[in-house]
Structure 1
């Protein structure tokens, strides 16, 4: 007898909005795609400042490719390797690729720590790597503590398919959004009181969207905390080579060695070549765990999101050229500092505050004085004006689960110098005329007060020695 009960035709994953596309963070991208800026063909289009991509050193990579045609299997110089690479299927990855990535990770961290190639597990970008580690560590409804504001797409990466939870650790402007052990302990306690099973703490270091790094003492305190609670610590370090001031990046791999009785089974690192080398299209994500069981499980899962063997072969050659890599890291740091300094100094002249950054491809801009009221509704209203009228796609803080309305993430490494000048001119004109009106801007009186903001780009590169 036929069952006439109506059954859903699609899964809950297919029909829910857990992917998170229905937030302003993504809507700003759509606005740009509908009307992209071009200096001659569409000078009144939207300028993309909501995409954290590093395009400042493509000339260096292009030059290397021309000088090393044998690195590709699709050139006359490299075609002899074509068959072997084209039929390679081992999800452990090419041995020389894993060795090159491990060495590069150590170099980015000043060679103060070494990485074992046997622990390098591939995934489809940092997105896939973050989801893989969640599958390994958390069951549905288990939770990870995540300092906020946090990367807008973490709701997709960490939660959508795994059904894990995120418990925000609230940080505020009162101390420059610095994470403290006290804030982590408070979030952990509140989660337990709500009967939420906390499996770990996930840190983004350097921070997205803040563009700041965690200092050594804070990291040591957090490593100690997870050991005391016997929960995991996942450190997303995909921006580790984007530090552009003398305040260098400190990896959890360094700190864990300094913490007494640290259990390495609790420590895991997420890495990628998308940000540090500016190669997101290669989809190179890395899970690096000190836990043997996690390495084994993640490697089995990697078959769902492998890096192509062609990409592995090419990147192994690129990463193994130490002279090129040393120069690339030095030059990238200088160019990031120059671009950051150009935009933030221009904002300061217009009276715009921002959180001083030392790493990343973005900074945290403070437009609270422009809000009609201190609410997230007012923030979104201001954001719509910026996107629709000023024609700049900057991302509102609400998309990053921040506590305070009026902050915006501004990405600065995605464009050329001339586009950056146009973007800065648009911001300056907007804030100086008060939301596009003839009234004086509420920011105009703040110009002099921004003198206290230091000149990050004048400090030496962390790769200069």
Structure 2
């Protein structure tokens, strides 16, 4: 019988059948609620920024005219509701450009005419992929990287993602040798490399790329005459030194580089906590890419009501200054609580200073250094400890035993419950068959000894909580429709 559906319709390109999404399904089927379901799964697989919603809610209440759905803003309803072209409102593009500058310390300038809107960073990534590569061609991506990149960039475009292997021995730093090795392997396999995708700050590492790494990456792509895409959607989530450095700053210091090969992806989903608004941005220094991406944006425009509201909000300098400072402070405080409480039961994490998550090191809890053992541990954590954390293998990590744990999508009471569960799990794990030391190379992954875990910790009830950091718990939607998590 003839195939009735397209190859896209019947393939597994969405990547839904992975541990990353399976954890979401476990949460969906048994979501934690402090009173209605206190033994349910706590969602720690969602990179969502809810810690400063009170600032946004206050602004919305104080600026009712920013919405056409209020009595004060209804007079603008007709002008906003009618058809608008895909360039977007000038005031929206101007406000986004200025906000991008502010987040980068006003050290660079962005041309509003180069702002191309898209339905979230998911749409922005795919649009760029359509513009830069043909089916069968590839982008290099340093590991570990965001799991849904495989969906966003490859499912409908037909391009490939090739890993640039980074390791824990140097804190997963991107090196020139790793870039060259990945590029050469592609050449040996007759795969044409069209670009390098960087995520800065990193998801899942929570680290920022330093000037040297960015400069080396720029030189690498320029020398190979391939594109450099910088995903900077977490740029305002930095909560301690070192500061975030945008690729826009690096090219200013390298005037001889080919700017037509440089592209930035941005959104308001993480920095402001607005994933539901679906505001994605492409900023390309290439005129042809800008023009083509703008035409493609017809398939995923930002609603005019959203543009109207965002333009008003991002034009409020007083609000933005206050929000950026306080959001950074709250993220830093929450990160500090999580990392310290993990350390009290011998769980380390990669030193980080950005993002909405930490990269948790559970290698010492593996029965052996294999990805099968990582998945066994992950199943215990999801099904028995009832925490949805994401295993490193779903991020294409080259070493088993690393997990991403998100901390900014819940209130303080829920975090306390999660930490109590982690403490209890580690205590119960004392004496189980686990390894004595982590390996310094992937060749050692089969070692299998005993570990005596440091069990010193204090009662979590003593954690000082700040009321203003609370955010009401609300059930999360299906992983099939939520993007950029």
- Shorter-chain TM-score: what band? over 0.9
Are 1:351 and 1:444, in contact at CA under 8 Å, matched by a contact in 2?
no
Normalised TM-score (structure 1): 0.93
For the residues of structure 2 that align with 1:234 and 1:163, how far apart are their CA atoms? 18
Counterpart for residue 317 of structure 2: 322
- Partner of 1:110, secondary structure, is coil
Give every structure 1 segment of 4 or more consecutive aligned residues whose post-TM-superposition deviation is greater than 4 Å: 435-444
Query: How does 1:450-465 map onto structure 2 within 5 Å?
Result: none
The structure-2 alpha-carbon separation of the partners of 1:398 and 1:383, relative to structure 1 and needing over 3 Å to count, comes to same
Deviation at 1:260, TM superposition (A): 4.6
Deviation at 1:141, TM superposition (A): 0.5
Query: How does 1:61-210 map onto structure 2 within 5 Å?
Result: 61-210=56-205
Counterpart for residue 444 of structure 2: none
From 217, 226, 229, the equivalent of 2:224 is: 229
Counterpart for residue 452 of structure 1: none
Counterpart for residue 32 of structure 1: 27
- Partner of 1:240, secondary structure, is coil
- Partner of 2:429, secondary structure, is coil
For the residues of structure 2 that align with 1:203 and 1:414, how far apart are their CA atoms? 24
Deviation at 1:189, TM superposition (A): 1.1
- Partner of 2:283, secondary structure, is strand
For the residues of structure 2 that align with 1:405 and 1:380, how far apart are their CA atoms? 9
For the residues of structure 2 that align with 1:247 and 1:100, how far apart are their CA atoms? 26
Deviation at 1:257, TM superposition (A): 1.3
Deviation at 1:439, TM superposition (A): 11
From 213, 220, 225, the equivalent of 2:215 is: 220
Instruction: Calculate the aligned-residue CA RMSD, in Å.
Output: 1.6
Are 1:206 and 1:212, in contact at CA under 8 Å, matched by a contact in 2?
yes
Counterpart for residue 391 of structure 1: 386
For the residues of structure 1 that align with 2:415 and 2:392, how far apart are their CA atoms? 21
For the residues of structure 2 that align with 1:265 and 1:332, how far apart are their CA atoms? 34
5+ residue gaps, structure 1: 1-5, 449-465
The structure-2 alpha-carbon separation of the partners of 1:381 and 1:84, relative to structure 1 and needing over 3 Å to count, comes to same
5+ residue gaps, structure 2: 437-449, 457-485
Normalised TM-score (structure 2): 0.89
Q: How many residues get paired?
A: 443
For the residues of structure 2 that align with 1:435 and 1:19, how far apart are their CA atoms? 39
Alignment of 1:262 with 2:266, yes or no, is no
From 374, 378, 387, the equivalent of 1:379 is: 374
Are 1:91 and 1:299, in contact at CA under 8 Å, matched by a contact in 2?
yes
Deviation at 1:429, TM superposition (A): 1.1
Are 1:223 and 1:259, in contact at CA under 8 Å, matched by a contact in 2?
no
Alignment of 1:335 with 2:353, yes or no, is no
- Partner of 2:222, secondary structure, is helix
